[in-house]
A and B are shown apart, each in its own frame.
Chain A
Amino acid sequence: MSMTTAIVFWLLAWGMNMQLARSGWRDHRLVRIFVPVLFGVSLLVLWEAAVKSFNVSPVILPAPTDIATRFMAETATLWEDFVQTVLKGALSGYLIGCSAAFLTAIAIDRSRFLTAGLLPIGNFVAALPIIGIAPILVSWFGFDWQSKAAVVVVMVFFPMLVNTVQGLAEASAMQKDLMRTYAAGYFQTLLKLRLPAAMPFIFNGLKIATTLALIGAIVAEYFGSPTRGMGFRISTGVGSLSIDLVWAEIAVAALTGSAAYGLVAFFEKRLTFWHPSQRQ
């Protein structure tokens, strides 16, 4: 495919998107999905044509079709790496870190003093490049997935803590008073008023944490891992110039990240349907 065809295709796709964006269908669900997909496909076509027509060496940038072929050929390796990095490292760290932060938030929420002390510190730590502690934790917990999970725990803890504490402060004094007139105790108020009110914040924290969890698990593997895992494959793939395999791993990481984010967003929609930001 020549570069001109690709550019013409891209222009046609953009024109069609413009038509769709102006048409009466623009708020239809299918159109909302179709427009960005068409845009993405037209970019891939541009990439493919650029690589093929300028004869870019596959060592520099492989074409999307080459990456797809390699992806299909290496599914066993990719799955092994996925299990090691995502299911063992990132997911276990994510679950431990998020639930620890959630429980800590509920515990410190009872004391105004602790909240006032921890919130600024948590906010500060959440902005730090915590990823740098990866080598320390790898030397503490060994090369296998436990150290990756530990890095993930530390990375997701503070954003999750800060969001949950803020969410728990969300219920208004009026609402709390109403609960008191119902003779509700601490746990009833927590369960029926404050936790539901905190849900949008908690989900925000969970969303931030999904991305951080993948980043943490992959970076920690650069500092030592058994001979499997996405980070391991990427760093060795770059060294041995099997760039198409690296891109296949990147595709897996991208799909995993988007899917995890989508999953959290799905539950958010289900559980916080009452919130203004979720109403149609």
Chain B
Amino acid sequence: MRRTLRIVLPPLLVVGLLGVVWEVYARVGNLGDELLPPLSRVLSAGWDDRASLWASTQPTLREVLLGFAVSMVFAFAISILLDASGLARRSVMPVLIGSQTIPLVVLAPLVVIWFGFGLTPKILLVALVTFFPIVVGLLDGYASSERDAVTLLRTMGASWPTVFRLVRLPSALPGFFTGLRIAITYAVVAAIFAEYAGAETGLGVYIQGADNSFRTDLVLAAVLVTAVLTLALYAATFIVQRLTIPWYTDARKVNQ
């Protein structure tokens, strides 16, 4: 309980302080609800519109999670290939890095043109954005395998797939979670971008609609929801990590 408080309290204080600054600035400056409504108005407007906001959050969350699932499957597959072959690593890595330089603004409408207004373009965009940090995290993790551990299994007569399964893959899991955390902070934004480019539901559509009717308070309310969603997903990676590789956190605690 004390520990939870110690983790949760400082960021809450910072957020609260920012909220106060926002509130005061908007009220004192009297900027008008269209330009910058005070935080209290954003919160109450969001609360009043909670049903519609929640209905918009669900599809976005679904896109994020599905996009992530696709991204992870591909990331694992590609990373195994790249770990197995130096030639594959040297030839494919530049392409992967290049794929990260395409701006989302350009890509989002293109994906909609190619795949329509359905779920597919959103999943693709989320996967594309989140895939790279996960691959890098995995590759880094494989490389962190202890050399003696690999040699030991080799002397036991283990084949490459066995060495991979028994040493390289488990060694890579901490790196995988690091990559996952970086990726997850991009994921929600990517989904909203994809919705912006063309969709029927989702937070992106909600924001667009609010924007078009000059409801800045609702736009900002949706932005707050986005932030909370990303934070929740980020926190979830720690929980999943704790469940999948409990030895990692425990061993680090002991060694400190």
Q: Is the pairing of A and B real?
A: no
